[in-house]
Amino acid sequence: MLSWIYYILVGAAAGWLAGNLFKGRSFGFWINALIGIVGGVLGGWVFNAIGISMGPGLLGSLITAIIGGGLLVWIAGLIKK
């Protein structure tokens, strides 16, 4: 149960940061959490595919989720255009 709370909190923080860094605004807690969680999965997949590891722990997870969330926001922007 605590791991889900951890993922949601890290995802929310990463989504908020990604939204602010790559889009210029926040989308609200639940959308930010979703962007961060999906971004973490996307970032983990991309980094694994190219052979890069951000390291274990909170900082590595947060960096991976922020970059993945930013990638997700960027892709969504391309689709929206």
- The pLDDT profile of the chain, 81 residues, written as one tens digit per residue, is 667 777 777 777 777 777 777 665 566 667 777 877 888 788 888 888 888 877 777 788 778 877 887 787 777 767 766
**Total domains present in the chain:** 1
Please give the C-alpha separations between residue 17 and each of 4, 50, 67, in angstroms, as whole numbers.
20, 24, 10
The pLDDT, as a whole number, for residue 26 is: 60
Q: Which domain holds residue 21?
A: 2-80
Q: What is the DSSP letter of 20?
A: I
The residue behind tokens 């790559």 is 22
The pLDDT, as a whole number, for residue 73 is: 74
